[in-house]
Amino acid sequence: MALRVAVLGATGNVGREMMNILDERKFPADSVTAVASRRSKGSEVSYGDKILKCVDIEQVDWSQFDLCLMSAGGSVAKEWAPKIAKAGCIVVDNSSHFRMDPDVPLIVPEVNADAIEGYTKRNIIANPNCSTAQLVVALKPLHDAAGIERVVVSTYQSVSGSGKAGMDELWNQTKGIYVNDAPTPDQYTKQIAFNVIPHIDVFMEDGFTKEEWKMSSETKKILDPKIKLTATCVRVPTFVGHAEAVNIETSKPLSAKKARAILKEADGIVVVDSPEDDGYITPVECVGEWATFISRIREDVTVENGLAFWCVSDNLRKGAALNAVQIAELLVERGALKPDSLKPGALNDEITA
């Protein structure tokens, strides 16, 4: 099977991770092209053992591609995704721009794979928010078993969720503090080094942040519109990996023992749950991993049918790049991407893998 794939936004954290995962998972691509903005034209990114030079987005003939994995931000997605899709290339977009569009499916393959059939309306598929992706993977098997009615979640989100600039700010502030150089916030509203900030994205009229709204709205679209969810999203001084403290209320009784057994059998989940000093997973340990890790499963006795757990995942992988590649794999599995869709003559040797 052979397909022609473009990664748009290839120089960013998520774009580079997309390139890595396409190679790691042996995605059936005949060629992979790195695409970026004009200012990044010629920048080099790795794809397996090859080095690819980025192509200027303005110079790409999108009719020559079957699939575009896009991680270039909302403004680029707004302008370019419809153009690329109209050219006959399926777009999997990592930005928030299309997520709540009723004609664009919002997909987490372990949760709502069948909804992918809706991509034909616009030829675009949306990737969910990083914190939503790992959450719905954890909620899905429990919802199927006992019917989740309400979710209360507090997130501990790493700075890589803000891109390279966020990671640089944490690094520079941490170094600066040790040499008595007072931190100056730039990417964040407050100092991020040795601190936590209960503010991700803009504030909305109801007092919630946009990130918190995304988690609620996206969970309803992906999993079940009847689920009530309230979130508090917090930026923490870790580089990679998002963690979530989750409390759920279910319509049917569900013991911690039963929940643990259900989660162990679920797709995309690894349970590490033992009441001892190292019987749980932290963000540092999930970096580079594919799974959503679940720990600290216990019954919440403050409500009738309550359960609490700890959920951790690599936000650059399952929260973004891995989920996008899994969507691409699902498109192949469902026959939306086929060998006979291959188009001749798209690439030159310099950028062909």
Numbered residues of the known binding site? 11-14, 39-40, 99, 157, 160-161, 235, 315
Indicate which residue of 54, 233, 242, 311 is catalytic. Answer: 242
Q: Which two tokens stand for residue 159?
A: 């700075």
CA distance 272 to 262: 13
CA distance 70 to 51: 19
Confirm if 85 and 65 have CB atoms less than 8 A apart: no
Which residues carry a binding-site annotation for phosphate? 99
Which residues carry a binding-site annotation for NADP(+)? 11-14, 39-40, 160-161, 315
Q: In 3D, which of 243, 260, 261, 248 has the Cα closest to residue 302? A: 248
Q: What are phi and psi of 165, to 5 degrees?
A: -65, -40
Q: Residue 99: in which H helix or E strand, if any? A: none
| 3-class SS shares of the chain: helix, strand, coil, % to 5 | 35, 25, 40
Indicate which residue of 54, 68, 130, 286 is catalytic. Answer: 130
Contact residues for 225 (Cβ-Cβ < 8 A; gap 6+): none
- Beta strands 148-157 and 242-250, pairing class: antiparallel
CA distance 179 to 284: 26
Confirm if 127 and 315 have CB atoms less than 8 A apart: no
Q: Is 104 helix (H, G, I), strand (E, B) or coil?
A: coil
Residue 87 burial by Cβ neighbours in a 10 Å radius (0-12, 13-18, 19+): middle
Confirm if 62 and 37 have CB atoms less than 8 A apart: no
Is 130 among the catalytic positions?
Answer: yes
Is 97 among the catalytic positions?
Answer: no
| Residues found in the chain | 353
* Active site residues per annotation: 130, 242
